[in-house]
Chains A and B, each alone.
Chain A
Amino acid sequence: MKSCVIVFPGSNCDRDVAVAIEASSGTAPLMVWHGETALPACDLIVLPGGFSYGDYLRSGAMAARAPIMRAVLAKAASGTPVLGLCNGFQIMTEAGMLPGALMRNAGLKFICRDVFLKVENTDNIFNRRYASGQVVRFPISHHDGNYFTDAATLDRLESTGRIAFRYCAPDGAVNASANPNGSLNNIAGILNAAGNVLGMMPHPERLIAPELGGSDGRAMFDALASLLQCA
């Protein structure tokens, strides 16, 4: 698999996701500097977590205007899978790749802990190794993960199956007490209309081996690796 991880000034989960990709695919991704203007032919693009530009102004706002983003948008439009994790998701919404915005957590504090997620949509290249309705445990680690969008967009996302993950209780119940940050409808991750762009606040790349405390995240990178290797 040929993959690219975009590195913005202030990205800090770029190495973590590169480790996860290499663990599943056997091939290290190409790290692409934000100042580049072109991307090589590749099967997967990742916008990693971190604090691009210090999260100054708004999380992801300045990275969304970086030179490389034009190329990322073009690849996404032509169907290349693009995965945005945490700050990557924030960059995606700021760049208009996905609808809505990630606002300050309802509790106003940074939160780093494992959360349970209900896998909603498995009919996409990212989630096909999970069962529909499966409960998985991923960490979150963010200050601005409170998903917001207008009512019409929310309806459209819900009715077209574009919710990828929702925060839930360990038994899968989706309720207010399982919502760590105030996201509308407990949304943790969403897809674009074509299904090749996934943005999510949780960090699957952080739980890919038992010694790290869990391996639920591994299946996402395994799925990407196997699918893209066949392609």
Chain B
Amino acid sequence: MRVSVTPEIVAAHGLKPDEYAHILRVLNREPNLTELGIFSAMWNEHCSYKSSRVWLRTMPTTGPQVVCGPGENAGVVDIGDGQVAIFKMESHNHPSFIEPYQGAATGVGGIMRDVFTMGARPVANLNALRFGAPDHARTRHLVYGVVAGIGGYGNCIGVPTVGGEVNFDAGYNGNILVNAMCIGIADASKVFYSTASGIGNPVVYVGSKTGRDGIHGASMASAEFDENSEEKRPTVQVGDPFTEKLLLEACLELMAGDAVIAIQDMGAAGLTCSAVEMASKGGLGLLLDLDKVPCREAGMTAYEMMLSESQERMLMVLHPDRTDAARAIFERWELDFAIVGETTDTGRFIIRHQGETVADLPVDVLAEQAPVYQRPWTPTPPAPYLPAKEIPDTDDLGATLARLMGGPHLASRRWIWEQYDHMVMGDTIQRPGGDAAVVRVHNSRKGIAATTDVTPRYCAAAPKEGGKQAIAEAFRNLCAVGAKPLAVTDCLNFGNPERPEIMGQFVGCIEGISEACIALDMPIVSGNVSLYNETSGVAIPPTPAIGAIGLLADVDKMATVAFKQDGDEIFVIGETQGHLGQSLYAREIAGRKDGAPPPVDLAAERRNGDFIRSQIIAGNVAAAHDISDGGLLVAIAEMALAGGLGCMLSLPRNAGPRHGFLFGEDQARYIACVSPQKAQAMIAAAQEKNVPVTRFGSVAGRDIVLDGKLVHSVAGLRSAHENWFPAYMEG
């Protein structure tokens, strides 16, 4: 059916009039509907990064540890011994809001494909989740579905979900964030990329069949000229983890040989993006014959096949003489395998369907001439410093601590992570609940530590400082388990970039992240950008979620947060100034949401982080914990809960206002527990490195006691901490 392209159809495809004018100019004719759909897929924000690209280019992406930075399916870093870690984090926000189980599940499936497409076996999944206020009508339903979906997919495929973070904030009432991260391990000599090469090489489709899943953008337009619109209505993408498990094993088996020239996961607008990217990177053309594409439903149009987001599919360019062997592998795993096209030297993306050429477009225009916008931006007005004296101290320390520990921000996430298989594969050395998860590299003593972090309330108050803090906290979480931080993946979630104040948040966060990545030697190797997270003009808080990994040379030299034994001395590493602005204490206890977030001193972060790591590796540290949300007393309480032991604390003489010392969220700090025999050695080492160390007490008994007065029993705190989540979900 021939449909002429009207301005309404162009708009329904998310293309601006000037973008469409550019298409008319380069084609020198009107595109047909299939071609328009292909342009809309390639030139949308998700594929082309048209609003963010100019800023992403400014970020640090190189370093001696980086094997492959952004631009491939995932980032690749060297972990020694001829091995690499391959990892990435990606958003699946909107689908998860519409259908939380399938949205989250397919997010997990997609990020794992990004990793094993490059030849790595996935070894760990993490996630960063943001939901609306707990009392918002949809929040409970969304939490339930997202958690079940993440578990349903990861558990079935058999990759442990080892860590993550969860926030609740009214700013996400209309736009939740589901960011999924996957880490894989590969031999450095067996990494696969998406650059096609050679002329006349077969283009091969493997995995599941193509259906009408998630055909976006065009739904409104296509309904107008189709009498079967009900039947053809785009459907929610449904994940099939069983098929992905088979696809994973089949791909890794194929990759053990030398058949693969290029491989690309079919994610958003699967067939279109994967084909164009492989051809573009190789400077080639590509011919597709849609009659060969395995379809789940009869009568699919070229438009639908090219835009389908059916899951668990891959596109590959193979060596022609290895094609039969490759086919045998996929058939043994009972997966579809079809030669659907070939590479050409024409530089054109040509699609044939039922004997007709249904699209004929220049590859380079699709891939490289996507519009790039220098969006106007206005900086976020600076937030004034909020001194501790403007916020009242608490007269009931125990109740305040219990309220923080038993509230939505800090309550135990056990309800979530017990629904994730976090032990399968038999290499989980540090389970959820600590600073960073640690998985052993199979058949070695090495460990990969991983964490996800960002504090959106800091980013909202001061984007640049918030961006720095997100990297700094990830750095600390890795150092606190004894890992050397290696590299970062980021998932930049923001509102509408066409609003200058949102773009200002974006720019500020990027500047802060970049500065911190350079100072802490953690380059960005992969990531994604999710914009337009807003409903009725209300944007989410700026949320540049950071996923970071680090390396432990020996998993026996690892720290955990749990208090280990009575008598161990408790030290605060780093300087405490009592900064309460944007702290949980200020917001939750004092009801103050104003003020600047704690400033980040990157030199101090580097110095203190290198120090705690060296002390862990030297065997001087019995337990370590980064100090972040909630401040010092919360960090102590978390260590007490993890170890089932109490402590006797005494405020140092120069502590300043008590609530500032106990609840301030000053950066670059850790708590270290050290046996009395090793305390002197640690203090001496700290002095040598100019690292501030303050003795704060010792591990003792079953209560938390400050200056001789009971703050709270550990058992009582445990019920407050553990009960909130299950009680909320049942409520």
Contacts and interface: CB of A to CB of B under 8 A. Distances in A.
A/B: CB atoms within 8 Å of each other: yes
Interface of A: 9-10, 12-13, 15-16, 19-20, 49-51, 53-56, 109-113, 139, 141, 143, 203, 205-206, 211-213
B242 A51 contact: yes
Contacts of A53: 242
B428 A141 contact: no
A111 B428 contact: no
Given A141-B421, A212-B428, A110 B151 contact: yes
Contacts of A110: 148, 151-152, 155, 419-421
A9 B426 contact: no
B418 A211 contact: no
Contacts of B243: 54
B241 interface: yes
Given A15-B425, A16-B424, A211-B429, A112 B418 contact: yes
A217 B555 CA distance: 21
B156 interface: yes
B158 A50 contact: yes
26 contacts: A9-B245, A9-B333, A10-B242, A10-B246, A12-B156, A12-B157, A12-B245, A15-B425, A16-B424, A16-B425, A50-B158, A51-B158, A51-B245, A54-B156, A54-B240, A54-B245, A56-B242, A109-B419, A112-B155, A112-B419, A112-B420, A141-B424, A203-B423, A206-B424, A212-B426, A213-B431
Contacts of A139: 423
Contacts of B429: 211-212
Given A10-B245, A212-B428, A213-B431, A112 B422 contact: yes
A113 B418 CA distance: 6
B334 interface: yes
A20 B555 CA distance: 19
A201 B168 CA distance: 35
Contacts of B420: 110, 112
Contacts of A113: 418
B150 to A, nearest CB: 10
B498 interface: no
B616 to A, nearest CB: 15
Interface string B436-467: 00001000000000000000000000000000
A139 B424 CA distance: 10
Contacts of A206: 423-424, 426
B556 interface: yes
A9 B334 contact: yes
A9 B246 CA distance: 7
B424 A12 contact: yes
Contacts of A12: 156-158, 245, 424
Contact of A13 (B152, B158, B241, B417): B158
B426 A15 contact: yes
A134 B424 CA distance: 25
Given A51-B242, A111-B419, 9 more contacts: A9-B333, A9-B334, A12-B157, A13-B424, A54-B243, A112-B421, A206-B424, A206-B426, A212-B426
A49 B333 CA distance: 19
Nearest to B447: A211
Contact of B426 (A10, A55, A205): A205
A13 B424 CA distance: 7
B421 A10 contact: no
A135 to B, nearest CB: 18
Interface in B375-421: 417-421
A205 B426 CA distance: 8
A159 to B, nearest CB: 35
Contacts of A205: 426
Given A9-B334, A12-B158, A16-B425, A54 B418 contact: no
Interface in B144-173: 148, 151-152, 155-158
B123 to A, nearest CB: 12
A203 B245 CA distance: 21
- 3 A-B pairs closest in CB distance: A12-B158, A54-B242, A16-B426
Contacts of B417: 112
A112 B423 contact: yes
Given A12-B245, A54-B241, A141 B155 contact: yes
A50 B159 CA distance: 11
Contacts of A111: 418-419
B425 A55 contact: no
A39 B417 CA distance: 39
Contacts of B418: 109, 111-113
A10 B423 contact: no
A187 B242 CA distance: 29
Most buried by B among A12, A111, A139, A203: A12
Nearest to A213: B431
A203 B156 CA distance: 16
A14 B155 CA distance: 14
Interface string B532-565: 0000000000000000000000011000000000
Contacts of B425: 15-16
Contact of A9 (B155, B242, B431, B555): B242
Nearest to B242: A54
A10 B158 CA distance: 8
B419 A51 contact: no
Contacts of B431: 213
Contacts of A203: 423
Nearest to A210: B556
Contacts of B428: 212
A139 to B, nearest CB: 6
Nearest to B152: A110
A211 B423 contact: no
A141 B246 CA distance: 21
- Among A19, A20, A54, A205, max chain B CB count under 10 A is at A54
Given A53-B242, A211-B429, A212-B428, A141 B156 contact: no
Contact of A51 (B241, B334, B426, B556): B241
A51 B333 contact: no
Contacts of B241: 51, 54
Contacts of A109: 148, 418-419
A160 to B, nearest CB: 33
A206 B423 CA distance: 7
Contacts of B151: 110
A113 B431 CA distance: 10
Contacts of A20: 426
B162 to A, nearest CB: 11
A57 to B, nearest CB: 11
A56 B246 CA distance: 14
Contacts of A213: 431
Nearest to A35: B332
A153 B205 CA distance: 51
A10 B241 CA distance: 9
A139 B418 CA distance: 11
Contacts of A15: 425-426
Nearest to B160: A112
Contacts of B156: 10, 12, 51, 54-55
A10 B419 CA distance: 19
